[in-house]
Chain A
Amino acid sequence: MQKEIAGDAPSAPTTRVRHRKRNSDVGAGAGKPNGNHLLVNDSKKYKSFLIRAYSTFWMIGGFALIVYLGHLYITAMVVVIQIYMARELFNLLRKTHEDKQLPGFRLLNWHFFFTAMLFVYGRILSQRLVNTVTPDKVLYRLVTSLIKYHMAICYSLYISGFVWFILTLKKKMYKYQFSQYAWTHMILIVVFTQSSFTVANIFEGIFWFLLPASLIVINDIFAYICGFFFGRTPLIKLSPKKTWEGFIGASITTVISAFLLANIMGRFLWLTCPREDLSTGWLLCDPGPLFKQETHALPGWISDWLPWKEISILPVQWHALCLGLFASIIAPFGGFFASGFKRAFKIKDFGDSIPGHGGITDRMDCQMVMAVFAYIYHQSFVVPEVLSVDKLLDQIITSLTLEEQQALLVKLGQMLQEKVIGS
């Protein structure tokens, strides 16, 4: 099917498709007036629409399978996506001519990648790793000492990379090497921030990973559909194919579906329970006050028109509204950033691992912005609602040793005493 239609092709099942026209068309037609680019006027659009729908179903199916398999498999998927993204981005601004003269340089990039991975995942998964390993065994002591000296290990790895970089500086290649070094750092920061936050969200409950990701997918699909049928006014010069009609239509749809999806997803324990260790089995837990149904009496005028008198709402649905708002309004800026970046460096696509759609970074650009927001929203607004004295006490009992608990008690006492004396 790919040979029939040159423009678009299906994508791999584990990544999400973004329903935007290919940047190649954008680049070629940049001189013409904007009217020729809109999806509404494209004559081949119905054929490409079917192809895209076909590939979307495949991807969503594959994604649902992985979600069913569990937290650890989703994390593995995130890590694999991240490796491919980093490889694409590392290769992006590389110049082969200079690279021939610098033999160990690619290895340096992967050294920094490995260090960043150790650092980031060590911080997030340390507590859960400890919970997985049973005490009184050699492995337990190994794991606890690794965690204790985790920062020191990562720092020594980083410093050895730093020293290695300086010792391999070659005359007349200084500027290229320094630019590559800076580029490596920027890539690693971008890739690892969002993937670490994604993994942190997953272990708080698949709900907090699935909902934001789904909202971005829905936003893209409906922006495409609304632009397909109604798009007339261009949105931003960076992406000439995006339209205001698509944007607004997608926003409304995303917010509504956030509300509904949260209700549907919130009923499954598999999605709402946090995972405290690295096991892969079934989960049982008390879902917490956010996922308990509450009944709201509908305002008077609705019960006049419709037969329902009250609806049951999970409190988490109000949080989902905020997530939906962000996904529709702010997250597309990640896509604009990527478009601007590609234009700035005159690149067609970030890579070519997905036939017809460019690289993985092309698919993940909005997801990255959303993952970071979801994590920060969760930590700032959801956790304080849910956390209580008893929950903290439980956490203290399970995660701290006896000496640490006593140290905590002493410190807490000091803190409280200073406040009491002050008042």
Chain B
Amino acid sequence: MRILSYFLLCFAFSHTTIFVFFFSFFALSANLSSFSSLFLPISASKSHFPIDVILLIFFAKNKTLRAMEEENVTSSPSTPVHRLRHRRRSNEVVMDGDRVNASPLLVNDRNKYKSFMVRTYSTLWMIGGFVLIVYMGHLYITAMVVVIQIFMAKELFNLLRKAPEDKCLPWIKQLNWHFFFTAMLFVYGRILSQRLANTMTADQFFYRLVTGLIKYHMAICYLLYIIGFMWFILTLKKKMYKYQFGQYAWTHMILIVVFTQSSFTVANIFEGIFWFLLPASLIIINDIFAYIFGFFFGRTPLIKLSPKKTWEGFIGASVTTIISAFVLANILGRYPWLTCPRQDLSTGWLQCDADPLFKPEPFALPAWIPEWFPWKEMTVLPVQWHALCLGLFASIIAPFGGFFASGFKRAFKIKDFGDSIPGHGGITDRMDCQMVMAVFAYIYLQSFIVSQSVSVDKILDQILTNLTFEEQQALFVKLGQMLKDKLS
């Protein structure tokens, strides 16, 4: 009886809170038309909450969390901008790895009810903070992604570093950050170049500077990379070769992993917050419900790499994720703030023609349902079918990101990737499944949803980078004329 009541309470509580948060924020925003600001160039928009209020909330919450942490040693809440992954801490996993698999399962742990309440509390804080940032817009989400990325890279750079060798090599840290900066310039330059060009007005000094930068973007990044490469070779020290080459390879691997997924995340954001929010939420939901199902029903272990995961948790979470993908897509797809793509780097309100994906269509239910239920047909946004695919991936393949991270930690005998989040390890621990999902969402989006083909993009890029403004106008006129002649 007690278990059932807890279950119902938590189920209702978490669902209600999530939905209440989403509904309230977005209903509020949809009605407040007075919040719309003009399409200003990059400048702090006065219609949104000031940054210092947010930072105040962030630090106040952290203080309360640390106070709570001292009470409860086993598990603690996390900071609001990171998503909670409801898995037991890896240190416990490593220690229990040799024992029989039955004892690490969550079902048998006696402290679990206390830790459950603490985790729920922190999850709500994180979701609340996340919703706030989503409300503020594309540029702020991008800033959040960049901050997360910097912390992740810092954790990973420090991971396989050995202190005595590092003392002999004074410049190795600077070299890593040089490559990081080069990668950031390259990746974000490619994604945001068109939008940056659209933000600048045509005859200002900035415009020429920006178009010049975009034109020689690849050459600048290559120059920076070659400088780093030569710097590396000139600082090779005898007897340290192996360590230095190992660090060089490790740096490249980190930067590739971190920047691929964050660049795809940012590209998704500018296609419409929907394509960032939905995949991220699905991963969170998958984690939460894997925890809940494992909490109540978990018996059969899933994979040797993570002894606390169970088949019951996995399957229950899969079903829940797919259903909530379908439902969530319907809810999120009604808001232009989430579904409109952002063509420049402004921070104001968005208006656009609704993509046919987000227009409701009636869907006749199959024959057996109207016999049992009163509904004959329901309105379905076409995007909900795409959301089913995203949900399927999030529940079945994305957990492999988590397994990869677990295996990696075991291989190199590391407890956690870092310790920036008290009680949960580092940021990479939180982001491992998100990374796999972000890449999939981007590729799915580009292959199946965005109708523009690769060649149009390429030629548009060439036009933007190689022609001056007057030449672009001349091209436009000529092309228009040509097409008109063809059609007539």
Contacts and interface: CB of A to CB of B under 8 A. Distances in A.
B55 interface: no
A345 B473 contact: no
A285 interface: no
A229 interface: no
A16 B469 CA distance: 46
A152 B448 contact: yes
Given A330-B230, A337-B233, A407-B456, A420 B202 contact: yes
Interface in A140-189: 147-149, 151-152, 155, 159, 162-163, 166, 169, 171, 174-175, 177-178, 182-183, 185-186, 189
Given A237-B238, A340-B245, A376-B219, A163 B397 contact: yes
A73 B460 CA distance: 32
Nearest to A376: B222
A387 B467 contact: yes
Interface residues of B, number: 75
A121 B355 CA distance: 33
Interface of B: 194, 197-198, 200-204, 215-216, 218-219, 222, 226, 229-230, 233, 236, 238, 241-242, 244-245, 249-250, 252-253, 256, 304-305, 343-344, 397, 400, 403-404, 407-408, 410-412, 439-440, 443-444, 446-448, 451-456, 459-460, 462-467, 469, 471-476, 478-480, 482-483, 486
A336 B238 CA distance: 14
Contacts of A381: 219
8 contacts: A163-B397, A169-B407, A337-B229, A341-B245, A379-B218, A380-B215, A396-B459, A418-B343
B460 A393 contact: no
Given A148-B447, A418-B198, A389 B222 contact: no
Q: Is the interface of B mostly helix, strand, loop or mixed?
A: helix
Given A337-B229, A393-B482, A175 B236 contact: no
Q: What secondary structure prevails in chain A residues at the interface with B? A: helix
Contact of A400 (B204, B250, B456, B467): B456
A389 B469 CA distance: 12
Interface residues of A, number: 71
Most buried by B among A127, A147, A405: A405
A396 B478 CA distance: 12
Nearest to B240: A344
Contact of A406 (B400, B455, B483): B483
A96 interface: no
Contacts of A185: 253, 256
Interface in A366-396: 372-373, 376-377, 379-381, 383-384, 387-389, 392-393, 395-396
A422 interface: yes
B466 A384 contact: yes
Given A340-B245, A383-B466, A406-B483, A149 B447 contact: yes
Interface string A22-55: 0000000000000000000000000000000000
A175 B203 CA distance: 57
Contact of B459 (A162, A163, A392): A392
A407 B452 contact: yes
A380 B455 contact: no
Interface in A329-345: 330, 333, 336-337, 340-341, 343-345
Given A148-B447, A418-B198, A396 B245 contact: no
A409 B466 contact: no
Interface of A: 126-127, 147-149, 151-152, 155, 159, 162-163, 166, 169, 171, 174-175, 177-178, 182-183, 185-186, 189, 237-238, 330, 333, 336-337, 340-341, 343-345, 372-373, 376-377, 379-381, 383-384, 387-389, 392-393, 395-397, 399-400, 402, 404-409, 411-416, 418-420, 422-423
Nearest to A170: B304
Nearest to A330: B226
B410 A409 contact: no
B215 to A, nearest CB: 7
A395 B479 CA distance: 12
Contact of A182 (B201, B229, B253, B465): B253
Given A405-B483, A408-B460, A423-B202, A373 B222 contact: yes
B16 to A, nearest CB: 36
A412 B412 contact: no
Given A344-B245, A392-B467, A422 B219 contact: no
A127 B455 contact: yes
Name the residue among B204, B216, B249 with the largest chain A CB count within 10 angstroms. Answer: B249
B153 to A, nearest CB: 16
A393 B478 contact: yes
Nearest to A409: B479
Given A238-B233, A333-B229, A405-B483, 18 more contacts: A186-B249, A189-B256, A330-B230, A344-B245, A376-B218, A377-B219, A392-B466, A399-B455, A399-B459, A404-B453, A404-B456, A412-B475, A416-B473, A418-B344, A419-B201, A422-B201, A423-B202, A423-B204
A384 B476 CA distance: 18
A177 B202 CA distance: 54
Given A389-B467, A400-B456, A177 B201 contact: no
A166 B454 CA distance: 32
Contacts of B219: 376-377, 380-381
B397 A405 contact: no
A408 B479 contact: yes
Nearest to B403: A166
